[in-house]
Amino acid sequence: MSKQQNVIVSERPSVMNRTSASSGIESGARSVVGQPVYRIVHALPDPETESAWREFLQRADFPTHYVSPEFFREPFFVDMRPFAVLVSVDGRVMAVVTGIHERKGLVCGVTGRPQLAMDPGCANVVTESLLQGLRREAAGEELITVFAWSQISLFTAGGFSEQREQATVMLDLRLGEHALFKQLAKGRKSDVKFALREGIEIRLATTQEEFDAFYQIYADWSRRKGLKIQGIEIMRAALGLQSNRKLFLAYWKGEPVAGTIVRYVPSGIAEYAANNSLHEARGSKANSLLVWSAIQWALKENLGRFSMGGGHRFLRHFGGSEVPLYRYRLDLTFLQRHRHGEWLNTNARRLVRHLRRRLGRETRA
């Protein structure tokens, strides 16, 4: 079998749907006829599957870059055995989850960036098959971790633990530029206007020279933060994926001083993926103007939503609404070693915080 067609198809439908297929399955407003079948993909699939996958993105609840076929073009995951589980009914894709193999487990997304999308009318119907696919891909692993945009009861019914994560700010681009600008906090509006007065110029980067200029900013920022620095060739490859990733550069006094990366799916969701800036650019308010310029670009591209990828103060000041996120985890080890270890660590941290507060009160007394 060629690498392009490296897939595994389930041999049997889920228990839920073997009993319901003959009459169809009602889920919300949609009636699903047929039996959900999962397919595990480890590379770009055959043209027919890819076409069905792309058609699904037009219906998906959260069509983001990492649940699109381009996930397999990402240079960051080449050595992490990337995979996708696609669930189809009568040949039509109804759900997709993507992930990697890392630290003896499957990891599907991170906080602020789930890698799970479903047809809104069929979530309950296809979830069991999705879980079957994840369990099969996890053969020999110790953990399955999945981040989701909402609570999914069938995950907990299937033995997964549930943990609420920090919410992510989501902008509804259908509101239009004027309404979105009104949503900005007063300080954020002031920052944007200040940056414009300072002469900050925002450019959409398209050349190797511009990519390399951003890399120097990124490397400097990472060193100051004590973070790992990706190799320049990996960053060049990622920024070269122009059909799903855009780099916005801020120029001050003719020199690049900051950059923002946005991932996106055409007609889907844009995601604020990264921002890096030089230390001397802090007073220019370039970062605020960069984000606002990325939002304006997404509006012009007729994208539906703009995910800020997190919920900290800087991001909340751009308006929008907060979408609660959830982490689901299944411990596959004997006696659930990871689950108990996490419980002990969590409670140990709580105890330390409690003791510090108590000692602080006693010291002040």
Residue 357 has what pLDDT? Answer: 72
Please tell me the predicted confidence (pLDDT) of residue 8: 63
Q: Does domain 169-317 have CATH number 3.40.630.30?
A: yes
Q: Are strands 269-277 and 305-307 parallel, antiparallel or unpaired?
A: parallel
Domain residue ranges of the chain, discontinuous segments joined by +: 3-159, 169-317
Per-residue confidence (pLDDT) for residue 344, from 0 to 100: 63
Task: Share the mean pLDDT of the chain.
Answer: 88
Domain at 3-159, CATH homologous superfamily: Gcn5-related N-acetyltransferase (GNAT) (3.40.630.30)
Alpha carbon 241 to its chain centroid, in Å, reads 17
Q: Does 169-317 match 3-159 at the fold level?
A: yes
pTM: 0.84
**What percent of the chain has a predicted confidence (pLDDT) above 70?**
83
Mean pLDDT of the region 175-204 = 97
pLDDT of the residue at 28: 35
> Does residue 4 surpass a pLDDT of 80?
no
pLDDT tens figures, 84-128? 999 999 999 999 999 999 989 999 999 999 999 999 988 788 999
Cα separations (Å) of 160 from 145, 170, 285, 311?
A: 9, 26, 43, 25
Task: Give 231-273 pLDDT, tens digit per residue.
Answer: 999 999 999 999 999 999 999 999 999 999 999 999 899 999 9
Please give the average per-residue pLDDT across 136-143, as a whole number.
95
